[in-house]
């Protein structure tokens, strides 16, 4: 997420002068530091602080409020209307689907605001991973193992692969499995209100825009960087193809 925050999200927030941000999943707070450097910003961070004591780290930073806890425990107690919400916490269907649902039900994202979601591509787009499997209700938890994940291979590997030691779904794909599947399921229930697009590279960034009216398009999501204009339609073409998605249609 850090690369996307640096190259895309921070310049976009600066350009739009958006100031009310929620960051779910902050790890060591490196993206938080980039966000906190923006003028007039107020960042609400939600994280159980598994990697770092973020309350201590940002104790003297007035722009940052740390809510220590799991997103699904903390979000229902918020009353904010955010311009932008970054989701990069627990990368599994149950957590992401319910994060989006709570955000929508409680109106935590204002109309015209954006939810950015990391890890919409391989490996977690179609495969759950769990920071703390015991925190996910068993009926929503995939059978999981600590083996390696190998691109193009549905099964996990005993010998090779990435992210060994992290609990992850034994099988890739299928219902209620992975971050992108969670977004699709949420979109299917909110037809017309949200627009989704994604940037490829660095495990993929999902951009979920909450419409203000039916005629808006996402081309306003452009930033100038090193003399070139990038937006969510052109920026990732330097890396790979961008897929532009309308509510209700399947995400490729
Ligand atoms: C991939 S790291 C986030 C990286 C960060 N966004 C960045 O750009 O540097 C994932 C973080 O999510 C946190 N996390 C795990 N489960 C969570 C949950 N249910 N709610 C909120 N945060 C969670 C972990 O503590 C960890 O700090």
- Does residue 146 lie in a domain region? no
> Residue 166's pLDDT band (boundaries 50, 70, 90)?
very high
Give the residue numbers spanning the domain of 80.
2-131+172-245
Ligand 1 atom nearest residue 29's Cα: 9
pLDDT at 242: 38
pLDDT, tens digit (0-9, with 9 covering 90-100), for 11-41: 889 988 999 999 999 999 999 999 999 999 9
Give 44-93 pLDDT, tens digit per residue.
Answer: 999 999 999 999 999 999 999 999 999 999 999 999 999 999 999 999 99
Q: How many domains does the chain have?
A: 1
Which atom, in ligand 1's list, is nearest to the CA of 30? 9
Please provide the average confidence, as pLDDT, over all residues in the chain.
Answer: 87
In a mutational test of the pocket of ligand 1, which residue from 8, 45, 131 has the highest number of ligand atoms less than 8 Å from its CB?
Answer: 131
Note whether 252 and 183 are within 8 A (CB): no
Tell me if 193 is assigned to some domain.
yes
- Does residue 60 lie in a domain region? yes
Supply the CATH number for residue 51's domain: 3.40.50.150
């Amino acid at each position: 997420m850090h690369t996307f925050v640096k190259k895309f999200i921070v310049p976009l927030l600066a350009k739009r002068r958006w100031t009310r941000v929620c960051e779910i999943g902050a790890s060591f707070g490196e993206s938080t530091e980039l966000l906190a450097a923006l003028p007039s910003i107020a960042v609400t961070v939600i994280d159980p602080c598994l990697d770092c004591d973020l309350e201590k780290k940002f104790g003297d930073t007035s722009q940052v409020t740390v809510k220590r806890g799991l997103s699904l425990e903390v979000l229902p107690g918020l009353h904010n209307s955010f311009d932008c919400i970054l989701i990069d916490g627990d990368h599994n269907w149950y957590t992401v689907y319910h994060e989006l649902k709570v955000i929508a039900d409680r109106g935590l994202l204002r109309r015209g605001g954006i939810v950015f979601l990391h890890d919409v591509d391989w490996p977690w787009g179609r495969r759950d991973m769990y920071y703390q499997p015991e925190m996910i209700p068993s009926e929503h938890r995939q059978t999981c193992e600590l083996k390696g994940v190998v691109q193009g291979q549905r099964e996990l590997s005993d010998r090779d692969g990435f992210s060994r030691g992290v609990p992850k779904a034994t099988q890739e794909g299928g219902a209620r499995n992975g971050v992108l599947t969670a977004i699709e399921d949420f979109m299917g229930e909110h037809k017309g209100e949200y627009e989704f697009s994604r940037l490829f590279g660095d495990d993929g960034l999902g951009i979920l825009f909450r419409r203000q009216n039916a005629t808006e398009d996402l081309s306003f999501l452009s930033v100038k960087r090193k003399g070139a204009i990038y937006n969510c339609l052109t920026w990732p073409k330097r890396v790979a193809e961008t897929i532009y998605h309308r509510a209700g249609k399947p995400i490729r």
